[in-house]
A = this chain, B = another copy of it.
């Protein structure tokens, strides 16, 4: 673990305060089961504190940072290995987003284990259940 306990707790606090954990299942026929499953943990900040957010990004050293057209800075952690690493970092210290993190872990495991249409349906059901926990009102998942 490259972070100290207080650094891990800091990242957990930042994520609880301002971060977002979500899983999208987008209909996409070029994928094997007709859906692209895209989990992500995202940190946000106003571009007014761009310089400091860049420093946070260097400290975190995970994900990709971009500046949106509406002036919001985002660090998106979407790659499987990095998601697992970030979950490991924050898990003992998270307070508000504990359930989301645990369900995301299950979804990542289910995603790794997908071998047939049935296990993929299970994955989609997990993702569908996730919506109830999350902030977003949008329905990202259509059960197949």
Which residues from chain A sit less than 8 Å from chain B, CB to CB? Answer: 5-19, 43, 45-46, 48-49, 52-53, 55-56, 59, 93, 95-96, 135
Contact = CB atoms under 8 A, between A and B. Distances in A.
Contacts of A14: 13-14, 16-17
A22 to B, nearest CB: 13
A8 B93 CA distance: 11
A44 B28 CA distance: 36
B17 A59 contact: no
Number of copies: 2
A70 to B, nearest CB: 15
**Which applies to chain A's interface (DSSP): helix, strand, loop or mixed?**
helix
Contact of A49 (B9, B55, B96): B96
A137 to B, nearest CB: 9
B95 A59 contact: yes
Contacts of A93: 6, 10
A104 to B, nearest CB: 16
A9 B14 CA distance: 10
10 contacts: A6-B8, A6-B9, A10-B16, A10-B95, A13-B15, A13-B17, A16-B17, A16-B56, A45-B96, A59-B95
